[in-house]
A and B are shown apart, each in its own frame.
Chain A
Amino acid sequence: MRFLASRRRHPAAKWLLLLFALFVLGGAYNAFAPAEQVSADTGNSQQVAQGRALFAVGCASCHGLNGEGQTTSTIQGPPLIGVGAAAVDFQVSSGRMPMSKPEAQAPVKPNRYTDDEIAALAAFVASLGPGPAIPAAADYDPASVKEEDIARGGELFRTNCSACHNFEGAGGALPGGKYAPSLIGVSNKRLYEAMLTGPQQMPVFSDEVMRPEDKRAVIAYLNDLHSRPIDGGLALGGLGPVSEGLWAWIIGIGGLVLFAMWITARGAKAK
């Protein structure tokens, strides 16, 4: 200590002390700073930049360069500010977006984007405004749903979904060429994202009102419904009176008409 005390007025002491303080500060910063977030942030901004570039090519012609939307010109697209990453993931991974032409409703078609590109697009759109994030597997995995919750999911489905999607989730028609698509074979993630974001004409079912466990119950109900064997013979698509009526009138009544024609037809004559 005497060594330090005797040299405290040495001309170099001030500089050495400054250097020491800087080392301590830098070391402490290194130790406490959230290093992962820093690196992720740079990664994210790269992702957003990549997403912006993809957006300008694939989406901007309808949705505007910054996702502000176009509602007055001939080519129209809704604003995407605040729709969130979940909406982008739903629309692009199912091939609905980008649309190939303006029409009543965007149909499902093969998706041309890689998972990384979809993630980049989603990151860019999410950066435009706060919106629902892409759900994690734990959100939509119905494995933990109990039997009684599956029954409750059925009640929720029939109250909220069956008006458009039919009681079996087989889909249905809407006015003006629009339609509610079939839910048979749709992945759990997409079911969850659709309820969360309300794509196209579908209303939104936000997490606060239709809680994540309610959504999982609906998904579990649909999985259960669609994995259940049909013991009644031909289900005819589960479309109710439409397909059953077609069957009854064409096959049923048609067959009876043919029989009646055979009964009254003039058979072979002798000359």
Chain B
Amino acid sequence: MTEDQGAEGDYERGHGDLRIGHGDHSISSDHSAEITRLDETHYPVPDPGHPEHLPRLADVDPGAANRATRQVATFFGLVPLFAIAFGVVYFAVPGDSYFHFGPLRANARNLGLGVSFGLGLLCIGLGAVQWARTLMDDHEMVDYRHGAASAGEDKEYLITELQKTADEAQLTRRKVIGRSLLGALATIFLPMLIGLADLGPWPTKKKRAATIEATIWKEGIRLVHDVTYKPIKAADLEIGQLVNAEPENLKDLEGTAFLQAKAKAAIIIVRMNPNTIKIPDSRKDWQVGGILCYSKICTHVGCPISLWEQQTHHLLCPCHQSTFDLGDSGVVVFGPAARALPQLPITTDADGYLVARSGFTVPTGPSYFERDSRRDFKRGDN
């Protein structure tokens, strides 16, 4: 309930004893004293209340009021002009003319339509705000609130009404109807749970191994250039070279299968001076003369990364700044990623082209709850 108490002078301004109201439930003097005491204990600084109400210029000076009226009317009066301008721009400005102003280049018609309509809307707003600020009555008022709970008699009334309805429906005498209805309502919605099966297969260990943990890499698959599908000769790579690559069998796939396979199998090939990088004994035969191959998918949340600094050998993920050291088996040197970048064991075939020795030894891509990270490379492993 809204009540204009301020107009009736029901509360005093500026004395720090603004009462917390309870709407039309009248407050006893004891109650109000209690609230005041609570305020004093809970708030070390007393409530200063509202500042003194002062009349505005337009309240006392008819000239100022007339001036404000003219301002508001001018804002509103400009709106039809902008509306006409909108129509003129629509018909008069050709659609292929352009407006140039410094770095701004825009289609003249679109710009004209937007500016005229926007200024029209703005004038309505400016007029309304100026009207409210200068001319509309500006007395302060308190809007008392109810407590959220219903009154005791309301509750009792509702309960008796409900009881009466239940009696009339014979629910209290023949309880089996109510119980069987509850059972019916519960079971009719149960079959909807079956629909949840459409969310996907249950991610058992076997299912995971065949889907998200599998890539199309396997022994003997050639590494090919991402865009041109050109196979890559080991001899053609120079130190400091980076190649965004894919498995050659990716081009046999199409549509969804292609995208899913590419999202997991994408790799980057880098060549570094073998004397300046750390190659653990267990991965001696995973590389060809300093040519190393890593998954391109960040182990944090799966962004594709190719932001590689050839001198520091660091690979930076642009999404969350995870940084992997490709000169040290892809371990994390910075950022939120928790696991090293998976490395793909590679060798050369009879023609000198780079081929995979096997698939990835650990799942590529971002973390998920069931992912086993015990076999991932950790700093210091050999």
A interface residues (Cβ-Cβ under 8 A, vs B): 78, 152, 155-156, 159-160, 163-164, 172, 174-175, 178, 198, 200-206, 208-209, 211, 214, 229-235, 262-263, 267-271
Alpha-carbon separation in the docked complex, A269 to B321 (Å): 55
Interface segment among B237-245, B364-372, B373-381: the answer is: B237-245
**Chain A residue at minimum C-beta to C-beta distance from B103:** A234
Identify the interface centre among B134, B226, B228, B323: most chain A CB within 10 Å of its CB. B228
Does A269 contact B57, Cβ atoms closer than 8 Å?
A: yes
List A contacts of B244 (CB < 8 A).
Answer: 159-160
Alpha-carbon separation in the docked complex, A203 to B242 (Å): 5
Alpha-carbon separation in the docked complex, A172 to B307 (Å): 11
Q: Which of B134, B318, B323 contacts A163 (CB 8 A)?
A: B318
Q: Give A130 Cβ to nearest chain B Cβ, in Å.
A: 11
Q: Give A154 Cβ to nearest chain B Cβ, in Å.
A: 10
**Chain A residue at minimum C-beta to C-beta distance from B132:** A263
Q: Which of B56, B243, B310 contacts A209 (CB 8 A)?
A: B243
Does B134 contact A267, Cβ atoms closer than 8 Å?
A: yes
Q: For chain B residues 223-246, which have a beta carbon within 8 Å of chain A?
A: 225-228, 230, 232-233, 236-244
Does A206 contact B237, Cβ atoms closer than 8 Å?
A: yes
* In the complex, B104 has a CB within 8 A of chain A: yes
Does B105 contact A175, Cβ atoms closer than 8 Å?
A: no
Does B56 contact A270, Cβ atoms closer than 8 Å?
A: yes
Does A174 contact B309, Cβ atoms closer than 8 Å?
A: yes
Chain B contact residue count (CB 8 A cutoff): 49
List A contacts of B103 (CB < 8 A).
Answer: 234-235
Q: Give A19 Cβ to nearest chain B Cβ, in Å.
A: 54
| 17 pairs, A vs B, C-beta closer than 8 Å | A160-B244, A163-B305, A163-B307, A164-B307, A172-B318, A174-B316, A175-B314, A175-B321, A175-B334, A201-B312, A203-B240, A203-B242, A203-B308, A204-B241, A231-B105, A232-B106, A267-B134
User: Which secondary structure dominates chain A's binding surface?
Assistant: loop
* In the complex, B133 has a CB within 8 A of chain A: yes
Q: For chain B residues 83-138, which have a beta carbon within 8 Å of chain A?
A: 98, 103-107, 111, 129, 132-134
Asked if A174 meets B307 with Cβ closer than 8 Å, knowing A233-B104, A262-B129, the reply is yes
Does B57 contact A229, Cβ atoms closer than 8 Å?
A: no
Asked if A230 meets B105 with Cβ closer than 8 Å, knowing A163-B318, A204-B241, A209-B225, the reply is yes
List A contacts of B197 (CB < 8 A).
Answer: none
Q: Which of B61, B98, B270 contacts A203 (CB 8 A)?
A: B270
* In the complex, B55 has a CB within 8 A of chain A: yes
The 7 residue pairs across chains A and B that have the minimum distance between CB atoms = A208-B236, A203-B242, A201-B309, A204-B241, A269-B54, A163-B307, A233-B106
Asked if A160 meets B306 with Cβ closer than 8 Å, knowing A231-B107, A267-B134, the reply is yes
B interface residues (Cβ-Cβ under 8 A, vs A): 54-57, 59-61, 98, 103-107, 111, 129, 132-134, 225-228, 230, 232-233, 236-244, 270, 305-312, 314, 316, 318, 321, 323, 334
Alpha-carbon separation in the docked complex, A163 to B307 (Å): 6
Q: Which of B227, B238, B239, B334 contacts A156 (CB 8 A)?
A: B227
Asked if A214 meets B307 with Cβ closer than 8 Å, knowing A204-B242, A270-B61, the reply is no
Alpha-carbon separation in the docked complex, A233 to B107 (Å): 8
Q: Give A171 Cβ to nearest chain B Cβ, in Å.
A: 13
List B contacts of A159 (CB < 8 A).
Answer: 226-227, 244, 306
Does A175 contact B316, Cβ atoms closer than 8 Å?
A: yes
For the complex with contacts A214-B228, A233-B104, 6 further pairs of A-B residues with Cβ separation under 8 Å are A159-B226, A175-B334, A203-B308, A205-B242, A231-B98, A267-B134
Alpha-carbon separation in the docked complex, A229 to B100 (Å): 11
**Chain A residue at minimum C-beta to C-beta distance from B138:** A267
Q: Give A184 Cβ to nearest chain B Cβ, in Å.
A: 13
Alpha-carbon separation in the docked complex, A233 to B323 (Å): 36
Q: Which of A152, A156, A175, A267 contacts B56 (CB 8 A)?
A: A267
**Chain B residue at minimum C-beta to C-beta distance from A214:** B228
List A contacts of B228 (CB < 8 A).
Answer: 156, 211, 214
List A contacts of B270 (CB < 8 A).
Answer: 203
Does B311 contact A229, Cβ atoms closer than 8 Å?
A: no
List A contacts of B309 (CB < 8 A).
Answer: 174-175, 178, 201
Q: Give B128 Cβ to nearest chain A Cβ, in Å.
A: 10
Does A206 contact B134, Cβ atoms closer than 8 Å?
A: no
Alpha-carbon separation in the docked complex, A230 to B105 (Å): 7
Does A209 contact B237, Cβ atoms closer than 8 Å?
A: yes
Does B236 contact A209, Cβ atoms closer than 8 Å?
A: yes
**Chain A residue at minimum C-beta to C-beta distance from B107:** A231
List B contacts of A204 (CB < 8 A).
Answer: 238-242, 310
Q: Give A205 Cβ to nearest chain B Cβ, in Å.
A: 7
**Chain B residue at minimum C-beta to C-beta distance from A180:** B307
Alpha-carbon separation in the docked complex, A205 to B57 (Å): 74
List B contacts of A172 (CB < 8 A).
Answer: 318
Alpha-carbon separation in the docked complex, A268 to B311 (Å): 66
List A contacts of B310 (CB < 8 A).
Answer: 198, 201-204
Alpha-carbon separation in the docked complex, A202 to B98 (Å): 39
List A contacts of B57 (CB < 8 A).
Answer: 267-270
Q: Give B242 Cβ to nearest chain A Cβ, in Å.
A: 3
Does B104 contact A270, Cβ atoms closer than 8 Å?
A: no
Q: Give B196 Cβ to nearest chain A Cβ, in Å.
A: 36
Does A155 contact B314, Cβ atoms closer than 8 Å?
A: no
**Chain A residue at minimum C-beta to C-beta distance from B225:** A209
Q: Which of A200, A202, A209 contacts B232 (CB 8 A)?
A: A209
Does A271 contact B307, Cβ atoms closer than 8 Å?
A: no
List A contacts of B238 (CB < 8 A).
Answer: 198, 204, 206
List B contacts of A232 (CB < 8 A).
Answer: 106
